[in-house]
Structure 1
Amino acid sequence: MRGSPFDLGNASAYRAWRDAKLAAYPRSADELVVPLADPRQLTAAETAALADRCGRANMAIYSAPHLPAADKSLASELARQLGLTRLEGNYLADEDGLSSITPAGDEGTVRGDYIPYTHKPINWHTDGYYNALDRRILGMTLHCAQDAEAGGENALLDHEIAYIQLRDTDPDYVAALMQPDAMTIPARMDENDIARPAQSGPVFAVDPDQGFLYMRYTARTRSIVWKDDALTQCAVKALTEILAGSPYILSARLRPGMGLVCNNVLHTRSAFSDSPGRRRLLYRGRYYDRLDFAARGRGRG
């Protein structure tokens, strides 16, 4: 990490990066929105606009309300053009690897036991926080096919901003959350005794090859074990307080034909209610890739 702003021993590199990051960071989710003529065929100008938003905040919101919102190719083809190709499949995903996030019914059903498939709120997290480190979720997409009758807003926060706020509070807190055993997700048991082994890892980490910062985090208090030392416990408390009131949190409600593309930023979802003719449905994609705007080369001039 020599010369990296994420090197805790390099105060000057950090300060220069920090000041530039905060100066450019959006103050409203409206600044993230990029209208697209057709997400399946990006123009060079549209790609540049998406790259600008993601350069500032590690995320962008696209809008194409004039196209059929339920068309899953809008999300999958957009992702492909932005370098998101290694889609994580899971047993709750659809056959194409995207997950249809919609209320599944009563608890006790396969999906109904998982909060994303209910009307309940979801607290701060990054996607795939329980994955092994060789299956890191680096990119994520959400495409809105139908919004809820009421509620279902997302709060969004660039994980680099959370890092800045925590490091400004106390650099030792960042060091604590970079420990390889800072956060452990216990094994998940099923009828065959184990469905997923326990997974330990850092909260903040820097990719050794490309130097980017990524985050693995959940604010849930059940089924999570934090390292039992005073510094880590103080760091977790400080991060919780940051997420409870950061002035950099952006609030967005995705409407049909809108979507989020991001480098797996921190996000939440508020509780929501549906009506018989308006049932919330989002298509979620989780990728082992980060956004790569140089991968475009396939746009329409």
Structure 2
Amino acid sequence: MANSPFDLANETGYHAWRDARLAAYPRSVDELIVPLADPRHLTPAEIDALEARCMRANMAIYSAPHLPAADKSLPHQLACQLGLVHLEGNYLADEDGLSSITPAGDEDSARGDFIPYTHKPINWHTDGYYNALDRSILGMTLHCAQDAESGGENTLLDHEIAYIQLRDANPDYVAALMQPDAMTIPARMDEVSLSPTLSRGERGQTLSPNQSIARPEQSGPVFAVDPEQGFLTMRYTARTRSIVWKDDAVTRAAVKTLADILAGSEYILTARLRPGMGLVCNNVLHTRSAFSDSPEHRRLLYRGRYYDRLNFTARAA
């Protein structure tokens, strides 16, 4: 981290970087929007425009309302042109690796157990905060196929801005949240029905006749710096259940201060994605408000989680 603005000992470098970031940061979500003729075939000018937004805020919003919004090739091919190629696979995703984020029906109890697949609000988080550190989610896309009848807005905040505001409050808070055991996500248990053809070992570590570990406990920092490329990542959830914070005074104060920042930062942006619009980002902080649907407006977004960061140098080649 030598000469890095994220080195807590590098005050000069930090303040130069900080001042530039805050001066460039958009104050309206409209500043993030880039109209695209065809997300599947970006022009050099469109790539430049997307890159310019992401340089300012680690995110951009594209808009192509004239194309069939439910066409999944739009977010797929757009992501590939921006260096997002390694999709995270999870058992709730579609066969193509994207997740169809829409309220689950009665017949889809597996998805209905998770808040993204309901009409409920989702608090501040970065995607994949429960992942193992070697499977960190660095990039994310969110493509709107259909918006809700009402509600369903996303609030957005560049995680680098959250870092700045926390460090300005107290650098010790940043140090606390960089500890390798700052935030722990307990193991998630699944109810299982053991098949007579499978042993317990094949189904996972069984803790009771009807339970197995679906996801092991995962500890890690909130803020981390990539050792090779030097960029900042964030792993965070504002949830109060199924999370354990390191039990020391500085960490507790840091968590509270970060929550206060997210409750009222002047840099928070609010977006309502319409059909044909989408978000591309380096896994920034985001929320979702509660929403209601109608037969004509059943909210459906395609989400992609990637082990890559946005990369504009490849160009559409």
Normalising TM by the smaller chain, what interval?
A: over 0.9
- Name the counterpart of 1:282: 301
Separation of aligned partners in 2, 1:108 and 1:196:
21
The count of residues paired between Structure 1 and Structure 2 equals 298
Residue 297 of structure 1, CA deviation: 3.8
> Cα offset for 1:193?
1.8
CA contact (8 A) 2:188 2:215 kept: yes
**Gap runs ≥5 in structure 1:** none
Equivalent residue letter for 1:92: L
Segments of 5+ residues of structure 2 without an aligned counterpart are 192-210
Cα-to-partner distance string for 1:137-188 (whole Å, 9 max, x where unaligned): 0000000000000000000000000000000000000000000000000000
Greater gyration radius: 2
* 3-state DSSP of counterpart to 2:67: coil
Q: Deviations over 1:185-214 (max 9, x none)?
A: 000011242100000000000000000000
Q: Which residue of 2 aligns with 1:262?
A: 281
In the TM superposition, residue 105 of structure 1 has moved relative to its aligned partner by 2.8
Determine the structure 1 residue equivalent to 2:152: 152
**How far off is 1:108 after superposition?**
8.1
What secondary structure sits across from 2:213 in the alignment?
A: coil
> Residue 215 of structure 2 aligns to a residue in which SS?
coil
Q: Does 1:98 align with 2:106?
A: no
> Match of 1:247?
266
Task: Identify the residue that residue 236 of structure 2 maps to in structure 1.
Answer: 217
Q: Distance in 1 between matches of 2:45 and 2:8?
A: 37
Distance 2:130 2:121 in 1: 19
2:294 and 2:25 mapped to 1: Cα distance?
A: 36
For the residue of structure 1 that corresponds to 2:30, the secondary structure is: helix
Partners of 1:107 and 1:113 within 8 A in 2? no
| Structure 1 position 276, deviation (Å) | 1.4
Identity in percent: 83
For residue 110 of structure 1, what is the aligned residue in structure 2?
A: 110
User: Given residue 139 of structure 2, which amino acid in structure 1 is its aligned partner?
Assistant: G
Q: Which amino acid aligns with 1:98?
A: L
Equivalent AA in structure 2 for residue 198 of structure 1: E
Which amino acid is 1:194 matched to? I
TM-score by length of 2: 0.93
Q: How much does 1:106 deviate?
A: 4.8
CA distance in 1, matches of 2:41, 2:140: 19
Corresponding residue of 2:87? 87
Provide the aligned C-alpha RMSD in A.
0.9
Could you tell me which residue of structure 2 aligns to residue 123 of structure 1?
123
* Equivalent pair of 1:138/1:287 in contact (CA under 8 Å): yes
Equivalent position of 1:291 in the other structure: 310
Deviates more, 1:190-199 or 1:130-139: 190-199
Is the 1:184–1:226 Cα contact (8 Å) retained in structure 2? yes
Distance 1:209 1:271 in 2: 39
CA distance in 2, matches of 1:225, 1:117: 24
Conserved? CA contact 1:105–1:118, under 8 Å = no
**Deviation of residue 107 (structure 1)?**
10
Tell me which residue corresponds to 2:38: 38
